[in-house]
């Protein structure tokens, strides 16, 4: 995805879109794209769109054959959308969020087995944590207009993340309507002057 964006010179347009404050949702590789910082990258590094004040590990959970599904706790999603207290996350060669800035809201964690190799974002070193009990890692975050998930909600029948994003989009449109400029239409040959609000921009969705 990064190679295609670089080849077609899409990074400047994507960064500009993110800066406008319009809603953006990145899943899996989209999460990596939106992060300000990334570790565990391929040789030569990877260009990022940025916007999310967080550090991600590109392939935290391993290679393609180590893809998995897991029930993750989603208290905020449940409070907003109802339903079960967990969500079945589909992780495909998935990244994970190692740390977040003060303005980033953590929406979900995923358990990590005690024999899993963990990555330290502060030292960017790999270390075995065999002696530690089961821990967890961040897999969903939100910062202002940006939503990001390390898993693929579109591969399940549970539509709550999509509903959450659409409501987030609507709230941002309503919040910006008072400050957004409107276009005035004057009908030739008539004395009435009408006002028409500009059509809202379509939110963008980044995935791999």
Structural domains of the chain, with CATH: 2-174 (3.40.50.880)
Specify the pLDDT at position 112: 83
What pLDDT shows up at residue 1?
A: 76
Rounded to 5 degrees, φ, ψ at 190 are: -120, 155
> What local confidence, expressed as pLDDT, does residue 28 receive?
94
| Model pLDDT, residue 4 | 81
Instruction: Give the model's pLDDT for residue 71.
Output: 94
Looking at residue 17, its pLDDT comes to 92
Distance CA 129, CA 116 (A): 7
Q: Which residues have a catalytic role annotated? A: 28, 152, 154
Whole-number pLDDT of residue 177 = 52
pTM: 0.76
Query: Residue 21: left (phi > 0), alpha (psi -120 to 50), or beta?
Result: left
pLDDT tens for the chain, 208 residues long, are 777 877 788 888 889 999 988 999 999 999 999 999 999 877 767 889 999 999 999 989 888 898 999 999 999 999 999 999 999 999 999 999 999 999 999 999 998 865 555 444 444 444 444 434 558 999 999 999 999 999 999 999 999 999 999 999 998 888 765 444 433 333 233 333 333 434 445 555 566 6
The pLDDT score that the predictor gives to residue 134 is: 57
**pLDDT of res. 207:** 62
């Amino acid at each position: 995805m990064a190679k295609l964006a670089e080849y077609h010179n899409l990074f400047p347009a994507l960064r500009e879109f993110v800066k406008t404050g319009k809603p953006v949702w990145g899943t899996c590789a989209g999460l990596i794209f939106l992060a300000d910082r990334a570790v565990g990258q391929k040789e030569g590094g990877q260009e990022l769109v940025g916007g999310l004040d967080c550090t991600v590990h590109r392939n935290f959970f391993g290679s393609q054959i180590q893809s998995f599904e897991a029930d993750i706790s989603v208290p905020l999603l449940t409070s907003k959308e109802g339903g079960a207290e967990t969500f079945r996350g589909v992780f495909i060669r998935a990244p994970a969020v190692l740390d977040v800035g003060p303005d980033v809201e953590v929406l979900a964690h995923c358990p990590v087995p005690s024999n899993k190799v963990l990555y330290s974002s502060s030292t960017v070193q790999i270390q075995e944590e065999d002696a530690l009990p089961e821990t967890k890692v961040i897999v969903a975050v939100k910062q202002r207009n940006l939503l990001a998930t390390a898993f693929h909600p579109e591969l399940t029948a549970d539509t709550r993340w999509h509903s959450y994003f659409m409501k987030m989009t609507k709230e941002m449109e309503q919040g910006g309507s008072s400050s957004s400029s409107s276009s005035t239409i004057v009908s030739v040959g008539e004395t009435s002057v009408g006002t028409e609000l500009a059509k809202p921009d379509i939110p963008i969705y980044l995935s791999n």
